[in-house]
Amino acid sequence: MLSMVMPIKKKVRLKYFPINATEANDSQPDYVLYYNPLVWEDRIYFECNTIKLFPDSRSPRDPEIVASGIAKYRDDFISKQIHKDLASGRCKYLILDHSLEGNYEIDWDYISTITGVEKSKLVWLTAVWNPEFMNRQSDVTVCFTNWMERFTSGIGSLKYSPHHPETEPFPWTTGFEQQLKDCGDRKKRPYHGLLYNREPRLNKAVLLARLKEQDLLTNTSYSWLGWGGKDREKPSSDEQLFVDSLALGTLREQDKDAFMEIANSSKVSISADENLRSNLAGNINFNHVSDCYFQIVSEAWILNSLVDDATPYLTEKSYKPFISGIPFVTWGQKGIIQALREQGYDVFDNWINHDYDNIVNEGERLAALMKELERLYSWTHNEWTQHLTDMIPGLKNNYQNIHKRSNNDDFKYHSFRTLTNGASDVKW
């Protein structure tokens, strides 16, 4: 079986992955074709609003984008020979790696049109966990890959060897080791909750407003760049944002003053060394962690697909607690906590009630989360320090698990590994 990577043209970054080669036919093996469309020059064709079905997208797709996409991909980027190989079966699939994103309502006709590849020959890699509901949308094969999980495991050059017996000591990072020691020593912390809000999004402003209105924000170590700090205009007026949130059910009338204050507030940093204008996805600040008992993870998306069995999109935000050694709750799409359970992580069910995770309606889900947050904030310092001491085995399990999964190919590719056979042996 061949494991080489042979670029067709350097300028287009397409990659061959030969499969099922034998000594008799290794000169012309079957292959799959791989391409990552999330590079800068391709985003106009593959960004969220472009690939989404209208009218769910903000506006109809620009026909000029379709025409230029056809010219770039179908008529130039993918050669006539590749199209012939796709038709003959020598090229099994065109793999489009969208695993940095979690779009779940995609116009597959558009994707097929601009690539010139029939949907049965397309494989779409996604960060949506267990995307079986997406596979029912069309003949396109959608596969989960754990890029976000692997990215998070690599923060700070973390090291873990899956070959060591679990009885042997693991090479914890200094920060993680100190966090475990603090938990064991029952260290009292100045804040209960830790909450990051660098990227200004409405769902984050809503959460901050709810915490403020329920008098929990003063006991929270939090950041907030704000729309002004991002040099980004608000998606609409403050009043309209409030009305939209009322309609969604995530804000209540009594939250208006708090929301308006948050929406117009200036930048809030947790510490002087925190540069909120920079992307902090690859950063863990253990000084922040050491000041708090638990983290409130504010995910990128909260809206769910209307499909009953839809599964969520997890970013690095959902995985960071595992390398920072802290328990957590999550404000995000339905099913994130269940996805983490299925991935082998301890979500601390003995202490934290994650029933909110099962609720489809966004307003009801946030209401249930806020009820649980009130309970967690009500715990005394002595109660929290004891609970963290008892959580140490789970914290260790999570750290070990993220590295096991990130270093094991069986976890990386899932159905993609079986689908592409030998191609999965190539290190992406």
263-278 pLDDT, tens digit each:
998 888 898 777 777 7
191 neighbors 217 (Cβ within 8 angstroms): no
Instruction: Judge whether residue 165 has pLDDT over 70.
Output: no
Q: What are 360's two structure tokens?
A: 């489809």
According to the per-residue pLDDT averaged within each range, which of 60-69, 73-82, 196-205, 323-332 is highest? 323-332
Q: Which residue is listed with tokens 């695993």? A: 99
What pLDDT sits at residue 168? 42
328-376 pLDDT, tens digit each:
999 999 999 999 999 999 999 999 999 999 999 999 999 999 999 999 9
Bridge-based pairing of strands 292-298 and 328-331 is parallel
Instruction: Determine what percent of the chain falls in helix, strand and coil, rounding each to the nearest 5.
Output: 45, 15, 40
Angle (deg, nearest 10), helices 256-263 and 202-213: 130
Of the candidates 288, 312, 286, the one whose C-alpha atom is nearest the C-alpha of residue 130 is 312
Residue 335 three-state SS: coil
238-263 pLDDT, tens digit each:
999 999 999 999 999 999 999 999 99
φ and ψ at residue 419, rounded to 5 degrees: -60, -45
CB contact set of 163 (below 8 Å; sequence gap of 6+): none
CB contact set of 55 (below 8 Å; sequence gap of 6+): none
Instruction: Judge whether residue 409 has pLDDT over 70.
Output: no
411 neighbors 403 (Cβ within 8 angstroms): no
CB contact set of 421 (below 8 Å; sequence gap of 6+): 19, 20
Mean pLDDT of the chain, nearest integer = 85
Q: What's the rounded mean pLDDT across residues 53-68?
A: 84
φ and ψ at residue 231, rounded to 5 degrees: 55, 40
What pLDDT sits at residue 53? 85
Bridge-based pairing of strands 6-7 and 122-126 is unpaired
What pLDDT sits at residue 11? 44
φ and ψ at residue 195, rounded to 5 degrees: -145, 120
Q: Quote the CA–CA distance of 222 and 191 in Å, as a whole number.
A: 10
89-98 pLDDT, tens digit each:
999 899 998 9
